[in-house]
Chain A
Amino acid sequence: MNIQTLQVLPAQYPGYALYYPLSSVIEVRNGDKVRITVGYSYRGPAKTLNLYGAIGVQAVWFDEKVNASRQISLPESTSWITRSDYVDITIDTTKISAGSGYDIYAKIMEGSSDRVISPVVYDVITVLSAAAEFQNFQISTWSKV
């Protein structure tokens, strides 16, 4: 059997998870910003919409800890155009506790309506504690002084 065509379906359904090869973990602290960049194709009328990004934990639903949105302007286009946009999310440890295994996702909203939602990217954010931390604490020398 020969494969004649390979169809790549739009990954835009909530709950539809996809693991990416880009899943390297980044470590952040309180006050840091995480930039989430999305890629997509668009066609339609000129629109000003909101790109929304969130960091949290995907369970039955996505439990958002911190999020942010940014206005984007899409040009009128009758044919598909490829675009890339980003949103910066500030880490606020009063809302997201220190720990690893946080997930991210993004979506485009028109008003309060979701227009398209990305697949969740899993286990990519580690939030470091603001408290003093020690590692490899041991006696290395001892002598008379």
Chain B
Amino acid sequence: MANTFILDIITAVGGEPRDYASAGEAVVVSVRLKNTGSQGMYICATATWDSTQLSFDPVYAWAEALQTIYFRANATMPNKDVKVTAYGWWWNGSQWINDSGKEKDLLLAAAAPQFSDFRVTQYQKV
């Protein structure tokens, strides 16, 4: 049975949870990692921001049984969509064991308004 479970990957811009960001915006990535084991243990999260490794704070933390820890990292939105891939780990006393993972897509917000199929659909005297 797994000892960690990623409840959620939260991406926030300006303190607001968002599933999209504009190019250049600062994004805070939070991984909610739960100790699903029956006893306390050290747990940690790692994640990639596309192919870049994120640095989390805290690096690792002690979690009591069923306790959830937030691991946070900072990133900058590039000029494209991003896939965040997070992993949950626990310390067995001699090495870190990965037993959970989750993915999330962060979409690039369109900077300019875009229209399509703009046409007159009706006209009437009112």
Contact = CB atoms under 8 A, between A and B. Distances in A.
A37 interface: yes
Contact of B117 (A34, A39, A104): A39
Given A78-B107, A88-B126, A38 B113 contact: no
A105 B58 CA distance: 59
B121 A22 contact: yes
B124 interface: yes
B27 to A, nearest CB: 14
Contact of A43 (B114, B118, B120): B114
Nearest to A77: B110
The secondary structure that dominates the A interface is strand
B120 to A, nearest CB: 5
Given A26-B123, A36-B123, A44 B114 contact: yes
A45 B109 contact: yes
Interface string B89-126: 00000000000000000011111111111111111111
B116 A108 contact: no
A40 B124 CA distance: 18
A40 B109 contact: no
Contacts, number: 110
B49 interface: no
Nearest to B112: A44
Interface in A30-60: 32-45, 47, 49
Contact of A12 (B108, B110, B116): B116
Contacts of A134: none
Given A45-B110, A78-B20, A34 B116 contact: no
A122 B21 CA distance: 42
A32 B115 CA distance: 30
Contact of B126 (A10, A35, A106, A117): A35
B119 A41 contact: no
Most buried by A among B107, B115, B116, B123: B123
24 contacts: A10-B115, A10-B117, A10-B118, A12-B116, A12-B118, A18-B119, A26-B123, A27-B125, A28-B125, A33-B125, A36-B122, A38-B118, A38-B119, A38-B120, A40-B118, A40-B119, A42-B113, A44-B113, A45-B110, A49-B113, A76-B109, A78-B109, A119-B120, A124-B123
Interface of A: 8, 10-12, 18, 20, 22, 26-28, 32-45, 47, 49, 74, 76, 78, 80, 84, 88, 104-108, 110, 115-119, 121, 124-125
